[in-house]
């Protein structure tokens, strides 16, 4: 591996999250380094998605500290996360069903578009210029993901695998410094998985994007990730290089169960 892994850019310290009386996350700490691929694994209901939701501000943990790029933050709304360069995809595809592929990916660049609605209404210089400029950027993403042929198709009509790819496209269009992927390969066949792996590695490689990923396919996780964190029942039970985690007895118990 020739790629350079940098310093810690996201540091999570003692995060606890409750919904009413239900504890979703308990005292979890781990960090993410720049340019690395960091996997979060664990059985169903371990709190993996909640963890991503904490990172990009959808949920607000009751306790704990989040330090992103050296700045501590207490409470953050999702759109702040977006403007700071955190993009994500969802477990159950969260595309805008009524819009075309092109428009969906264009929304990914919305934080970078400055023209006001009045300029849009009158189609003045800046509004028009921005639409063109960002269209060019979006077309690059479309080329990268090899989805040129479906540009104009409403996303609701696309098959599942392509929708996942479009969702990745929308996140990439934001040119994020950190990309959160929630089960990007769930429900895909082998070929689609291979494509998706290739895209993830290319993104990481070509743009240096830091990637935090939740995935169930252990083969994939062990292959592509630099470090792995393991959650079970909202607690951290393992953290380290893929090979270390694979041999961690707690992790094996959590996955295979143990006879009492």
Partner 1 sequence: MIYREAGQFKTSYAADQQLFPIRQDRIGVLIVLAVAFLAIPAVASEYWFSAILIPFLIFSLAALGLNILTGYAGQLSLGSAAFMAVGAYAAYNFQLRIEGIPILVSFACAGLTAAGVGILFGLPSLWIKGFYLAVATLAAQFFIVWCLTKFPWFSNHSSSGVISAQKIVIFGHEFASPREKYLLVLTLVAVMALAAKNMVRSSTGRAWMAVRDMDVAAEVIGIRLMPTKLLAFAVSSFYCGVAGALYAFCYLGSVEPDGFSLDMSFRILFMIIIGGAGSILGSFLGAAFILLLPIFLDIALPRMAGLLGLPFSNATVSHIQILLFGTLIMFFLIVEPHGLARLWQIGKEKLRLWPFPH
Partner 2 sequence: MQFFLEVLIGGLLSGVMYALVALGFVLIYKASGVFNFAQGAMVYLAALSVVGCMEKGAPLWLAILLAFVIMTLFGIATEKFVLRKLVNQPPIALFMATIGLAFFIEGLAPMLFGSEPRALDLGIVDEPIPAILDAWGIVISKFDLVAAGVAALLVTTLALFFQYTRIGRALRAVADDHQAALSIGIPLQHIWAIVWGIAGFVALVAGLMWGARNGVQFALTFTALKALPVLIIGGFTSVPGAIVGGLIIGASEKLAEIYLPPVMQSLFGGNFGGIEGWFPYVLALFFLLIRPEGLFGEKHIDRV
Q: Which residues are near partner 1 by CB under 8 A?
A: 56, 58, 77-79, 81-83, 87-88, 90, 94-99, 103, 106-111, 113, 115, 117, 120-123, 127, 130-132, 135-136, 139, 170-171, 174
Distance of CA 113 to the CA centre of its chain: 22
Cα-flanking dihedrals φ and ψ of residue 209, to 5°?
-70, 135
- Of 115 and 218, the one with the shorter C-beta distance to partner 1 is 115
Among 30, 68, 90, 199, binds partner 2 (CB under 8 A): 90
Q: How far is the CB of 49 from partner 2 (least distance, A)?
A: 7
Both structure tokens of 126: 């800046």
DSSP state of 233: T
| Residue 136's binding partner out of partner 2, partner 1, none, with CB under 5 to 8 Å set by partner kind | partner 1
DSSP 132-148: HHHHHHHHHHHHHTT-G
DSSP 79-115: HHHHHTTEEE--SS----TTSBHHHHHHHTTGGG---
Piece of the chain touching partner 2 by CB under 8 A; list 68-76, 88-96, 152-160, 204-212: 88-96
Among 49, 89, 204, 225, binds partner 2 (CB under 8 A): 49
- With binding defined as CB under 8 A, does residue 163 bind partner 2? no
């990730």: which residue's tokens? 225
Among 23, 33, 34, 58, binds partner 2 (CB under 8 A): 58
């Amino acid at each position: 591996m020739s790629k350079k892994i940098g310093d810690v850019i996201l540091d999570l310290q003692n995060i606890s999250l409750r919904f009413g009386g239900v504890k979703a996350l308990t005292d979890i700490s781990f960090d993410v380094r720049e340019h690395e691929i960091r996997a979060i694994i664990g059985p169903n209901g371990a709190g993996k998605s909640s963890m991503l939701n904490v990172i990009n501000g959808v949920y607000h943990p009751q306790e704990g500290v989040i330090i992103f790029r050296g700045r501590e933050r207490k409470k953050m709304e999702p759109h702040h996360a977006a403007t700071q360069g955190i993009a994500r995809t969802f477990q159950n595809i969260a595309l805008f069903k009524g819009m075309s592929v092109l428009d969906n990916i264009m929304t990914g660049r919305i934080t970078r578009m400055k023209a006001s609605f009045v300029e849009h209404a009158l189609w003045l210089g800046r509004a028009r210029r921005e639409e063109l400029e960002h269209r060019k950027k979006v077309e690059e993403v479309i080329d990268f993901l090899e989805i040129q042929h479906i540009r104009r198709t409403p996303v609701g009509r696309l098959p599942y695998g392509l929708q996942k790819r479009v969702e990745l496209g929308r996140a990439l269009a934001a040119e994020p410094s950190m990309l959160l992927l929630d089960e990007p390969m769930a429900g895909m066949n082998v070929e689609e998985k291979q494509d998706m792996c290739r895209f993830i590695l290319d993104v990481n490689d070509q743009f240096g994007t830091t990637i935090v990923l939740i995935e169930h396919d252990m083969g994939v996780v062990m292959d592509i990730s630099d470090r792995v964190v393991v959650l079970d029942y909202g607690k951290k039970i393992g953290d380290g290089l893929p090979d270390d985690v694979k041999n961690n007895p707690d992790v094996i118990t959590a996955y295979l169960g143990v006879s009492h």
